[in-house]
Amino acid sequence: MLISAVQKFTMLDYPGKCACIVFTPGCNFRCGYCHNPEFVLPEEIQKIKHTFIPEKVFFQFLQKREGMLDGVVITGGEPTMMGDLLDFMRKVKERGFLVKLDSNGNRPDILEKALSEGIVDYIAMDVKTSYGKYGQLVGKLVKTENIQKSIALLMHSNIEYEFRSTLVDEIHSHGVLAEMREMIDGARALYLQSFRPEKTLKSSYEKFHPFSQSRLSETVSFFREKIEKVEVRG
């Protein structure tokens, strides 16, 4: 599997666990507020391709961390674009580590296979906007029926999961938030984070604004009416 970077240690990205993070290059979405364009845009990926980490080297590192790390977080970009993602996850599990997968939810077939094989322990899925606004925000490759299916898969699974939303003042109106709340009504956990207007995939987003503290607090209370656990992250 292509590995564009590795963060050797985190206690934030896998709740309650010590983990490392594996980043994969490439994404099928083009979210204007994305702060990792170097892992998304093909022209930017080409610039760092020479720094990619061979899978063999990663597993040598992981072997040295046995007993020190609980798990591996696989993020991107969008990991489900990797044709050998499931095989990579199997290898991690075979070595006795937990697997957390971050995904935008556009490939429910991959999520379903990982769940059915028992090779994933935690999935974090982005819920970016209302179904009707998805294409406008993330680009033409999204299939909203896939987002819907992925949400249902997680909510009916037996593993730990969370939904995540990045909030932009100009994009997430009260009406959009109300629709998003209905999309994940009854979910176990939602983590909200406020948009950061620096280093964005689309330069126009540098003029957009994060939620104010008061609006963010109101939004937390709003989602808590339908969702078990709602917290602000970052």
Domain boundaries, the chain: 5-232
Estimate the crossing angle of helix 55-64 against helix 85-94, to 10 degrees. Answer: 20
Strands 229-232, 189-194: parallel, antiparallel or unpaired by DSSP? parallel
Dihedral of alpha carbons 210, 215, 221, 222, sign? negative
Structure tokens at 185: 């009504």
Q: pLDDT in tens for each of the 234 residues of the chain?
A: 999 999 999 999 999 999 999 999 999 999 999 988 999 999 999 999 999 999 999 999 999 999 999 999 999 999 999 999 999 999 999 999 999 999 999 999 999 999 999 999 999 999 999 999 999 999 999 999 999 999 999 999 999 999 999 999 999 999 999 999 999 999 999 999 999 998 899 999 999 999 999 999 999 999 999 999 999 997
Burial pattern 31-45, b for ≥16 Cβ within 10 A else e, equals bbbbbbbbbbbeeeb
Spatial distance between the Cα atoms of 166 and 126, rounded to a whole number of angstroms = 8
Question: What's the CATH architecture for 5-232?
Answer: Alpha-Beta Barrel (3.20)
Spatial distance between the Cα atoms of 161 and 165, rounded to a whole number of angstroms = 14
